[in-house]
Structure 1
Amino acid sequence: MNARTAPKLLDPAPGPAHDPSPHPAPAPSHLDALEEEAIFILREVTAAFERPALLFSGGKDSLVMLRCAEKAFGRGRLPWPLLMIDTGHNFPEVTAFRDQRAAELGARLIVRSVEDSMRRGSVRLARPDESRNAHQSVTLLEAVEEFRFDALIGGARRDEEKARAKERIFSHRDAFGQWDPKGQRPELWSLLNTRLHPGEHFRVFPISNWTELDVWRYIAREGIDLPSLYYSHARAVVERRGLLVPVTPLTPAREGETVQQRAVRFRTVGDITCTCPVESQAATPEAVIRETLHAELSERGATRMDDRTSDASMEQRKKDGYF
Structure 2
Amino acid sequence: DSMARGTVRLAHPGESRNVHQSVTLLEAIEEFRFDALIGGARRDEEKARAKERIFSHRDSFGQWQPKDQRPELWTLFNTKLQPGEHFRVFPISNWTELDVWQYIAREAIALPSLYYTHQREVVERKGLLVPVTELTPLKPGEVAESRDVRFRTVGDITCTCPVESLAATPEQIVLETLAADVSERGATRMDDKTSEASMEKRKKDGYF
Q: Where on the TM-score scale, by shorter chain, does this alignment land: which range?
A: over 0.9
CA deviations on 1:62-111 (whole Å, 9 max, x unpaired) are xxxxxxxxxxxxxxxxxxxxxxxxxxxxxxxxxxxxxxxxxxxxxxxxxx
What stretches of structure 1 of length at least 5 have no aligned partner?
1-115
Q: Residues 220-239 of structure 1: matches in 2 within 5 Å?
A: 220-239=105-124
Give 5+ residue unaligned stretches, structure 2.
none
Question: What does residue 28 of structure 2 align with?
Answer: 143
Spell out, residue by residue over 1:257-315, the C-alpha distance to the aligned partner (whole angstroms, 9 max, x if none): 11111110000110000000011100000011111111010010001101013696111
Q: Which residue of 1 aligns with 2:190?
A: 305
Structure 2 residue 202 is the aligned partner of structure 1 residue 286: no
Q: Please give the alpha-carbon distance, in whole angstroms, between the structure 1 residues aligned to 2:194 and 2:158.
A: 12
User: Cα distance, 1:168 vs. partner?
Assistant: 1.4
Q: Are 1:125 and 2:10 counterparts? A: yes
Q: Which has the higher contact order (CA 8 A, sep 6+)?
A: 2
- Report the CA distance between 1:164 and its aligned residue: 0.5
| 2:183 equivalent to 1:273 | no
4+ runs deviating over 4 angstroms:
none
Larger C-alpha radius of gyration, 1 or 2?
Answer: 1
TM-score where L is the length of structure 2 = 0.97
The answer to whether residue 52 in structure 2 is matched with residue 167 in structure 1 is yes
Task: Measure, in 2, the Cα distance between the counterparts of 1:122 and 1:173.
Answer: 21
Match of 1:178 in 2: 63
Question: Which of 104, 127, 138 is 1:253 aligned to?
Answer: 138
Once superposed, what is the RMSD of the aligned Cα atoms?
1.2
**Pair 1:268–1:179, CA change in 2 (3 A):** same
In structure 2, the CA distance between the partners of 1:278 and 1:254, relative to structure 1 (3 Å rule), is: same
Inter-partner Cα distance in structure 1 for 2:135 and 2:195: 18
Does residue 1:191 correspond to 2:76, yes or no?
yes
Selected match of 1:213 from 92, 98, 115: 98
In 2, Cα distance between equivalents of 1:205 and 1:132: 22
What is the aligned residue count?
208
Identity %: 81
